[in-house]
Chain A
Amino acid sequence: MTPDLILFLALAVLAIASAVAMLAGRNAVYSALFLVLNLVTVAILYLLLNAAFIAMVQITVYAGAIMVLFLFVIMLLGSQQAGSGPDLPWQRPVSVVLAVALVVLMAYALLAGGRGPLLADASLLEGFGSPQSVGRLLFRDYLIPFEAISGLLLAAMVGAIVLTRDEPKEKP
């Protein structure tokens, strides 16, 4: 057991526990807060995997902006309590079977195409994953997709406004 492995296992257990707590929570606000914990844990893993820029984007965009939007909608709709009503009788068994099938499939893919150990830090390229290197790649090789993303965000913003706008009453 190296310190790296212990650190990874602790973060993995925290991530899985917060994900399970999110699924099991009866109150939607608690679920959202557990998801924030999960996202922050994964951001720490990103930092350990030499992805400092992505870790910061994860915290500001995901744990910050997106989760605030979720909490805002939960509060707006007053839907803290999870929906009640009769469960579909076959839903849970079928979902468990499908989940087990998914795990088996992914374990097969993982073991069949297994990669070696992560490279040692010393063998990494200089500045791998730093904001400078990511920015250089983003604005040189991926400039067109970057601009396309801005169009997508604009379209999503217009769509959200159109969907939630109150239609003005029209004369027949």
Chain B
Amino acid sequence: MNIPTSYVVALSAILFTLGAIGVLIRRNAIIAFMSVELMLNASNLAFIAYARSLQQLSGHIFVFFIIAVAAAEVAVGLALIVTIFKTKHSIDVDQVSSLKG
């Protein structure tokens, strides 16, 4: 595909910003968590675009590791959400304010 690298990186930036907005405005913990996945995915897209542009296969390896770390993060994060739901009976992040001073 012959398109400028900057187009792909711009798409990555837009997706990353949408993910950041999601983390900021959604109060359902699961949807905020999915927005984090969107941000990770956007950074992966930039890695792949630059790997293609610079002919460096290391970018692909980094994306592979990022996906593996995201899988580990989802397992622990969803376990935390389930545990919070058991005690609070809600996954609204505004309800989780026990540590507030």
Contacts and interface: CB of A to CB of B under 8 A. Distances in A.
Contact of A117 (B5, B28, B63): B5
A118 B2 contact: yes
B54 to A, nearest CB: 8
A102 to B, nearest CB: 5
Interface residues of B, number: 72
A70 B52 contact: no
Nearest to B78: A73
Contact of A62 (B17, B69, B70): B70
Contacts of B17: 99, 102-103, 106
Interface of A is mostly: helix
Interface in B1-46: 1-11, 13-22, 24-28, 30-31, 33-35, 37-38, 41, 44-45
Contact of A77 (B9, B65, B91): B91
Interface of B: 1-11, 13-22, 24-28, 30-31, 33-35, 37-38, 41, 44-45, 48-55, 57-58, 60-61, 63-65, 67-76, 78-83, 85, 90-92, 94
20 contacts: A4-B3, A16-B14, A19-B19, A22-B38, A23-B21, A23-B31, A45-B8, A50-B52, A73-B82, A82-B26, A94-B24, A99-B20, A102-B16, A107-B13, A110-B6, A119-B55, A153-B71, A160-B78, A161-B79, A163-B83
